[in-house]
Every structure is written in structure tokens, then in C-alpha cells.
Structure 1
Amino acid sequence: MKKPCHQNLKKFNTFGIDIYTKNFFRVSNYSDLEYLIDISKNYSKIFVIGGGSNVILSSNIIDALVVKIDILGINIISNDSNHILIDVGAGESWHDIVVFCLSRGWYGLENLALIPGTVGGAPVQNIGAYGLEFSEYCHSVFAWSFKNNCFIEIKAQDCLFSYRESIFKKNNNDYLILSVRLLLDKIWTPRIGYHDIKKQITNCVAKLTPTHVFDVVCSARRSKLPDVKALGNVGSFFKNPILEIPELEYLKLLFPNIVFWNHIPGVSFKISAGWLINICGWKGRIIGPVAVYKKQSLILVNINNANASDVLVLAHAIQEDVCCKTGISLEIEPVIF
């Protein structure tokens, strides 16, 4: 029988925190899953790692059962003239799937290019970028329920998706995501309303292609986001705050140049967390072995073997300063485990 083993998790979290566990179990296929189901009964806590791109590991030694999902594969479930439904293994690289789908004329994911992590991590965080969220192309999620001891297919409408939230994030000890079903378009509709994309796509709408949007998104991300292999990070560290109209109007009196965009038109707006951090003077600042990235204030980077305490010292200092100066509370985006 396959058993949990000792494992250093430094290479399994993109911030590069040096953490150790005695209970590491890799699931590469459904035979491994059978062993995991039996083994999991001996643990009160289970922590699932995909690409490790949205987590801060905070214990010196993790005593939970740490499960690494490596299930691969892409299968076509249904296919017609307008849409295709595919089932994708949770261990597949998210960006590689975006590239794969684009190359076959299956559209919709272009704005989510170059987001690090695995397919299984996409629904947990309801990943999003440049005006698009994962939930818009999610058909369902296939998972093992530790709580109910059974396989379960959860339809998108039951995943409780919201801004960087889902049922899987709220109940991270209950589900092991095995695959995700994506309903993609064969007739392309461009999504270029987001300001960063608009700025780069000018006078070319008649010639615009999905590949062009993909290239613009990749260029934009590479220009301001560090490569996790060069500088450990978890991407955006803070959520963009959501404010209703009266709150926004008050802030506009204090900060006429505040950066915001529609969340629910006519009801609420997202405020740029990066802009808030910038005006409070944090871009490029360093505290110990952690820094605010010089090109994008939403990113905290590991510059010298940081641990979770180092990261949270800087994060909390930013939160306190932004709240003091603007009245807005920034919420941490990655999971702290």
C-alpha cells in the first residue's frame, strides 16, 4: 500500500517558504486515490496542494495530511457547432490548458493566460484577470467529498463562486478536486473592456483575434509580474476592495485620482488595491527578507529565504497603513495555512 512520506515543501509553494511535512501523499491516478481515501481517515486535517501558487505555509512542520494532486488528462464530453465541453485533470497546468484550448479553436480563456497554478486550483480561488473570472466558463467540478465519503459533481451554480471565493475555499478540508469541466466557445467574443487591455489594443478591432488578446495579456503580465522561479511570490497578495456608490463618492472627494471600475454596474465598484498601496508609499519597500515588488504593489516577493511570519509582518504593516490613510481595509488573498 502506498503511504505518506517525509517531504520538504519548498518547491511545492511558489513563495519558496522552507516547510517540512511527515505526511506527504501524491495522487497521480485513481489507484492512488483509493489508498488516500483509506489513509485520510487517520487525519483530522487535510491540506491539498496544486501548484502552490496561492498559499502561504505558516507552520515550521505541517502535521496535516498534505495531498499533492497530479491527475492529468483532457477528455471531450460533448461537442457541437457553438460549444465544446471538456473534462480536465486537476493536475494539469492552468496556462498550458489555456494554450491547448486556444490552439484548437476553443475560446474564452485567453484573458486568464499565464496565471500560475493548476486546473484544480482554479475553482478554489475562482481565478480571474483582465475582466474575466474562471466561473464564467466552469460547467462543473468533479471531486471526492471527505465529509460524505463519495464522489460528487458540483455544478458551477452550486460552487458559491464570488470574487476570489468558492465553496472549496470556504470548506478546504471537505473536497479533493479531481477534474474540472469547462464549457468553451467555438464562436469567439472578445473581452477587451478591462483598462489594461484597452490601452494596448488600439485601432485594430477589425483585425482582432483570440491569439492577439492572448499575446497582449501575456505581455501585460510579464511586464509587471515577477517570474516565481526568479522571485518567490503568490501573485496578487490583496483583493481589490469592493465599495458601494456612497463609499466611492466619499473617497473620490479625498482622492480625485482614485482608480476604480465597475463590479456590479450601478451598485458597486472595485477599487485598485495596488493604487491604494502605491499612494501610501509602499511600492518597492523592504521589511526584512520580504519586499513589495517594484513594478506592481500587489505583489510581495521573497528576497532572502523568508518565512510566513516575515511575509505577514509586511502584509499587516501595509494593511494598517492603508486603513489609517484611506479608511479601506485590505483583505489578504492567498490561503494562510
Structure 2
Amino acid sequence: MLAIKKNANLKSYNTFGLSVNATELAECSSLDDLIEVINLLNTDPKPYLVIGGGSNLLFSKDFKGLIIHPTIKGIEIIEEDDNHVWIKAGAGEEWDDLVAYCVMNNYYGLENLSYIPGNVGASPVQNIGAYGVEVKDCIEIVNGVFIKDGKLFTMNNVDCKFDYRYSVFKGELKNKVIVSSVVFKLKKSAKLNLSYGPVKEEVMKKGTADLQTLRETIIDIRKSKLPEPSEMGNAGSFFKNPIIQRSKFEELIKVFPQMPHYIISDDLVKIPAGWLIDTSGWKGKSIGGAAVHEKQALVLINKNNALAQDIINLSNTIISDIRNRFQISLEPEVNII
């Protein structure tokens, strides 16, 4: 049965811990609930927003409309052969619960994405990634429903138009669909991805290079860098790592020879946003109740009962400073509503 709350406080629905309200909040625990809420929207049109775990959101003010929160659960094997297994997970499953399940059962592919906050339904939207892996590498199918008419859809990997922190769900289908479940194709045996230097170093120190050790290592690294949202409100990495032209990189590396970088192609180079911000002296600095985390410059935190505008002002000031220093434009990874 679809439950709709009136004048709902969203503090527990966003990892920044901002106390904002929504006119209405619909908890959808089944596909039938999603279709019901879509029918309600079509008979009584109003502004709406679909949210997952709230780990990639910054509410700038109260939301005058309907928040749709899919909470569909379930993790099941729907197919397997000698080399692969296909796992279907509900949009409302905690992302790291899915990763833990896969690692426990020796299914390879998602282990480098351990301990990323949020829900399964948001993973294809954002094309989440970490430590040399993006979720697009394992997504086979995305299932959901069109908001316009309540029709179901099934999209394959190509249909999703994945790119760096991007998918069709952030482009032409933004605010037009709701993801209900995702099917992942995982391997039963594979070589671990240790391409990210610090991960490889820590795994080698432990002496055993297996799925569980890699997962534990990544969790340890993330915990050492990223504050727990329950203790200090944050949305993880606030900025995307900028990708710049090779010609621009060649100019910068002459001035900043220590600049870390990752070659994307003959023409493109990725620069770590955290390094840019750290090098510019932003660690620990604050504006109002918002601050840059002391251990990870890529993370903005709700340090002292921050207002949304404090976080936005801090973000804008950092963006301006990086542009002036490096002629590089940072983009927020967080969605500002």
C-alpha cells in the first residue's frame, strides 16, 4: 500500500543532514507503488523529485512538491553459466549490501566499489565509480517505469549511454523515469583490479590478494579519508575529477610537475580534483557552518549546523579559486536541488 507523508522532514533522507521539508513524500516499496504514484501525478500534476539514499543531493531549500523514494528490496540470481552470474537487485537495496553479497559469494566486478553510500537504483544514474572501476562495467540491464505514462522499460548497457559520472538518466531521461531494479553481470573468476596505486600497496601488505582482502582494503581507505555521514554530514566526493585537453595538461605539468594525472586518451587527461583543492590550501577551511574536510579535500562537510547556502558558497568559492589558479573548471558531482 502506497504511503504518502505530508510536510515530511528530509533530514534523514540526505546525507548532508540538512533539515528541509517536502510538501509530500511517497515511499514506494513495490513496482505497483511506483505505478500508483505515477497515476497520482498524472491526475494531480505537481513538481516531483525521485531520490535514493540521498548521498548525492544538496537541498538548497524546502521542496514544494512530491518526493518519490523507491525502497524496492531484493537480491536474486536470475541466470548463471560456468563463467558468469546475473544478479538482479531492487532499487531500494543499500549499494554496499549488494557489494558485500557479491564478495561473500565470490562474484567479481563490484568489489572496487565497496562502501560507496547510496542505493542500487542510483548507481546507473550516476555511473558510480572508484579505484579504477565504474559500475557501467557490470551493468547488463536497467529496469524501471516512465513517469509520463507508467509504462515499464528495460534498457541494456548501450541504451544507458554511460560516460564518466553520466548516463542517459542524467541526460535526456532526467526526471522522466524511475529505476526499479538493476541487473548486473558478474564473473565467477577474474583478475583483481589493483590499478589504483594505494589500493595495490595496501593489499600487498596484507599478503593475500583475494576479493575479501580487496574489499576490506578499500573500506579501510575510504574510512580513513571520508567521514561517516552519521557523524559529520557530507555527500562524499563533492566535485567531479576534471578531464582536460592534452595540450592544456602539457602547459600545466611544466608549472606543476608533481601534478597527478591519468591519461584517458590521446587527447584527454583526468586530473584529481582533490589534489587541485588541497594544493590550493583549502583543507580545513570553512565558510559559515560548511568546511572542507581536513583529511580529504574533495569532501565538503556540514561541520557546524551548516545552511545549504553555506555549502553552496563554499563550493562556488573553491570553483572560482581553482579556475583562477589552474584555468580548470570544477563541476559539482552533487546534485543541487
TM range (shorter): over 0.9
Paired position in structure 2 for 1:69: 70
* Aligned residue runs from structure 1 range 251-266, under 5 A: 251-264=252-265, 266=266
Distance 1:74 1:2 in 2: 22
Deviation string, structure 1 residues 265-304 (Cα, Å, up to 9, x no partner): x332210101100111101101110000000000000012
Paired position in structure 2 for 1:284: 284
Distance 1:200 1:235 in 2: 22
- Partner of residue 184 from structure 2, selected from 182, 185, 190: 182
Q: Secondary structure at the match of 2:155?
A: strand
* Aligned residue runs from structure 1 range 158-173, under 5 A: 158-170=159-171, 171-173=173-175
1:305 maps to 2:305: yes
Paired position in structure 2 for 1:198: 200
The answer to whether the 8 A contact 1:8-1:19 is kept is yes
The answer to whether the 8 A contact 2:39-2:150 is kept is no
Distance 2:217 2:310 in 1: 34
Paired position in structure 2 for 1:46: 48
The answer to whether the 8 A contact 1:130-1:196 is kept is no
Letter in 1 for 2:289: P
Q: Secondary structure at the match of 2:49?
A: strand
More deviation in 189-198 or 248-257?
189-198
Report the Cα offset of residue 43 of structure 1: 2.7
The answer to whether the 8 A contact 1:46-1:67 is kept is yes
Q: Secondary structure at the match of 1:201?
A: helix
Distance 2:205 2:87 in 1: 34
The answer to whether the 8 A contact 1:43-1:64 is kept is no
Aligned pair count reads: 334
Report the Cα offset of residue 3 of structure 1: 5.7
Deviation string, structure 1 residues 183-227 (Cα, Å, up to 9, x no partner): 00101221001122133233778x411111111111110111100
Letter in 2 for 1:140: I
Q: Secondary structure at the match of 1:120?
A: helix
Report the Cα offset of residue 77 of structure 1: 1.7
Q: Which runs of 5+ in 2 are unaligned?
A: none
The answer to whether the 8 A contact 1:143-1:177 is kept is yes
Normalised to the residue count of structure 2, the TM-score between the two structures is: 0.95
Paired position in structure 1 for 2:331: 331
Displaced runs of 4+ in structure 1, greater than 4 A?
none
Letter in 2 for 1:274: G
Report the Cα offset of residue 44 of structure 1: 4.1
Paired position in structure 1 for 2:27: 26
More deviation in 311-320 or 101-110?
101-110
Q: Secondary structure at the match of 1:187?
A: coil
The answer to whether the 8 A contact 2:284-2:293 is kept is yes
Q: Secondary structure at the match of 1:157?
A: coil
* Aligned residue runs from structure 1 range 7-156, under 5 A: 7-41=8-42, 42-59=44-61, 61-156=62-157
1:225 maps to 2:226: yes
Q: Alignment RMSD, CA only?
A: 1.5
Q: Secondary structure at the match of 1:4?
A: strand
Distance 2:286 2:237 in 1: 17
Distance 1:14 1:215 in 2: 23
Q: 1:302 to 1:240 in 2, by over 3 A?
A: same
The answer to whether the 8 A contact 1:83-1:186 is kept is yes
Report the Cα offset of residue 257 of structure 1: 0.7
Deviation string, structure 1 residues 97-130 (Cα, Å, up to 9, x no partner): 0001111121111100000000001111100000
Q: Which runs of 5+ in 1 are unaligned?
A: none
1:271 maps to 2:271: yes
* Aligned residue runs from structure 1 range 232-251, under 5 A: 232-251=233-252
Q: Percent identity?
A: 39
Report the Cα offset of residue 96 of structure 1: 0.6
Distance 1:305 1:182 in 2: 39
Report the Cα offset of residue 2 of structure 1: 4.2
Deviation string, structure 1 residues 148-190 (Cα, Å, up to 9, x no partner): 5310001111111111111112233101000000000101221
The answer to whether the 8 A contact 1:293-1:300 is kept is yes
Report the Cα offset of residue 240 of structure 1: 0.5
Distance 1:332 1:222 in 2: 22
